[in-house]
Amino acid sequence: MEVVLDKFFRCQISRDKLKELSIKSDWQGIKHVSIFFISLIFFGYLAYISWGTWWTVLWFFIYGNIFHCSNPISHETKHNTAFKTKFLNKLFHQISCFMAGTEPTRWRNTHFLHHSSTLSTYDPYDYEIAVTKPTDLFFVFANLIPFGKLIVFHKTTHFDTLKIALGITTDAMRDSIPEKEQSKSRLVARIYVGIWFAIILVSIAYQTWLPILYLILPDFYGNTLLQLLATTQHAGLLTDTKDHRLSSRTMHLSPIFSFLYYHMEYHIEHHMFPTIPSYNLLKLHRLIKDQLPPAKNGLWDAYREIIPAIIKQSKDPNYLLKVELPN
């Protein structure tokens, strides 16, 4: 059932409850990044001490997939909801954006556009469609394979940052970043690229792959888990609608996957109420779930719907995945 609206639909929830769920917490943010970086260091250490054996492949694979989940941290800090303190949001936003290869100013502005014009295919255009609602099957599967992103490097965030550093004004920059902030975007991109080259030079000087494996390549060999999770957000769903229940997908995940994904599996709820911290989205889901389509029960349940839909859409762009809304 499709609902035609002039403004975005929002589920009914009491003002007091919404205010309560919107409260930010430094402790929740500190707890998350502490567990994240401790896990990263632990598996990074296992990869180091097993260097030269086949075990190092396993540990680097786990390390890379955790490292790549810095992207959800950059997303939550982009919304300024990971921490109550603004400084902590800004600090970890810069750290996580560097880890994810995303230039902060560019992606903050295009992400706000993603929320204000979710999956819009016309003016204003949502530049996250190519990432969040892909219909290019080769692109989808390349992103699931370790080092597959190198095949489609021209579509990666690293390549986008490289173009910004070279002074190229991309369409996304022109349409979403205020002109006065574009110079800041180029400066930060050049700093990122400079650090990349410094890491490569250190690796060459010491004749070791380790600095590159730890700091640059994780986004390329550790892309599988996050890609599986992030593709569920909008894949196969409706574009150009004001009802996030038709354009976004909510699912339940195991505690470990939910942690690494920073609870973005409650994606309808996040789009509908983007100022609510991710650690409160489950509480929000329980309050409004009777107004939403049934949540998918894990990745398998989500992909049973997604795979047939994106295959059909790759052949017929007009194919629509039907979503049943509550009466």
The verdict on residue 322 lying in a domain is: no
Residue 91 sits at φ, ψ, to 5 deg, of -60, -50
Task: Look at residue 183 in the predicted model and tell me its pLDDT.
Answer: 93
The verdict on residue 89 lying in a domain is: yes
Cα 113 to Cα 116: distance, rounded to the nearest angstrom: 5
The verdict on residue 15 lying in a domain is: no
Kind and range of the H or E element at 252? strand 251-252
Which domain, by its residues, includes 82?
25-120+130-151+218-315
The verdict on residue 195 lying in a domain is: no
The verdict on residue 141 lying in a domain is: yes
Structural domains in the chain (count):
1
What is the pLDDT tens value at each position of the chain, 327 positions in all?
444 456 899 999 999 999 999 999 999 999 999 999 999 999 999 999 999 999 999 999 999 999 999 999 999 999 999 999 999 999 999 999 999 999 999 999 999 989 998 988 887 888 887 665 666 788 888 889 999 999 989 889 999 999 999 999 988 898 889 988 999 999 999 999 999 999 999 999 999 999 999 999 999 999 999 999 999 999 999 989 999 999 999 999 999 999 999 999 999 999 999 999 999 999 999 999 999 999 999 999 999 999 999 889 888 888 888 898 987
DSSP 250: B
Task: Look at residue 6 in the predicted model and tell me its pLDDT.
Answer: 61
The verdict on residue 84 lying in a domain is: yes
Cα 280 to Cα 278: distance, rounded to the nearest angstrom: 5
Cα 3 to Cα 257: distance, rounded to the nearest angstrom: 32
Which residues is 39 bridged to in the sheet? none
Task: Look at residue 124 in the predicted model and tell me its pLDDT.
Answer: 83
The verdict on residue 171 lying in a domain is: no
Task: Look at residue 1 in the predicted model and tell me its pLDDT.
Answer: 41
The verdict on residue 136 lying in a domain is: yes
